[in-house]
Amino acid sequence: MNVFLAGATGAIGRPLVSLLRDASHCVIGTSRSAAGKATLEGLGIQGMVVDVFDRETLEHAVLEAKPDVIIHQLTDLSGGTDPQSLERNARLRREGTANLTHAARAGRVKRLIAQSIAWAYAPKELPYYESDPLDEEADGLRGISVRDGVVPLERSVLRQAEVEGVVLRYGQLYGPGAWSANPTGSSPVHVEAAAYAAFLALDRGAPGAYNIAEPGGAVAITKAVERLGWSADFRLQRKE
């Protein structure tokens, strides 16, 4: 397949590049900087500098790449969890996803796979299932993240007819490139297992949302296991 990977230099993006490249997919990875583009080309894929907020340029990039699938792994939490950082990330999820969705439709892309989070559900008795409502009434910092970011992201991806929309609701990431090296939070998931879910979703699973986390946590993962063939135990094979 031709795969347009937005956010290819991130914690999930890098192991996902390895999976896609080693499976002989043609990968166009995006970065916000020339340095990121060079990094991607060093990994053996085509790199492209793209501003996801520039709708016209993004659409042109997608039309030029002619992808079968777009994978959205973009985040902006360089400032941690302070309000300004959360607002930047919410804007990226809200406006950047809308622009990616627009570009996908313009390019007649078959499938759009997007990163979301598994701790955005409205409070209820555990575990959370994909059919449970998101916390649209959240306020404060949680409101910035969920109400202003996650909710519009998921609506943009899932509420369309022209492109198959898949949302991967990742738990708290750990491992190389993540904030923690070890499992943390109510629904942890290793970055390489998270990347594996996106890799499988290229051509598996019906459109919709999937919880991606380790078993025994706050979210049910049966749907991802059964429909994507996903395993939380997946890790990249390192060459000696």
* DSSP 8-state secondary structure symbol assigned to residue 174: E
pLDDT in tens, 40-71: 999 999 999 999 999 999 999 999 999 999 99
On the question of pLDDT at 187 being above 70, the answer is: yes
Looking up tokens 């991130």, which residue turns up? 10
Residue 79 has pLDDT above 70, yes or no: no
Residue with tokens 């996903």: 230
115 forms beta bridges with: 168
User: What letter does residue 25 receive in the DSSP assignment?
Assistant: -
Share of residues in the chain with pLDDT > 70 (%): 99
Type of residue at 53? F
Weakest-pLDDT range from 76-85, 128-137, 211-220? 76-85
Q: What percent of the chain has pLDDT over 90?
A: 95
- CA separation for the pair 210, 76 (Å, rounded): 22
pLDDT tops 90 at residue 78: no
Tell me: the pLDDT tens digits for 138-171?
999 999 999 999 999 999 999 999 999 999 999 9
Per-residue b/e over 13-38, b at no fewer than 16 CB within 10 Å?
Answer: bbbbbbbbbeeebbbbbbbeeeebbe
Name the pTM for this structure: 0.97
- What's the pLDDT at 77? 83
| Amino acid identity for residue 172 in this structure | Q
pLDDT confidence tier of residue 240, bands split at 50, 70 and 90: very low
Predicted confidence at residue 80, as pLDDT, reads: 73
pLDDT at 100: 98
Residues 6+ apart with CB under 8 A from 19: 195, 196, 199, 236
Confidence bin at 237 (pLDDT 50/70/90): confident
CA-CA distance, 13 to 112, in Å (whole number)? 15
CA–CA separation, 175 and 161 (whole Å): 36
| Predicted local distance difference test score (pLDDT) of residue 145 | 97
Distances (CA, A) of 60 to 47, 97, 108, 180, 182: 15, 16, 13, 37, 40
* pLDDT tens, position by position, 204-226: 999 999 999 999 999 999 999 99
Instruction: Please state, rounded to an integer, the average pLDDT across all residues of the chain.
Output: 96
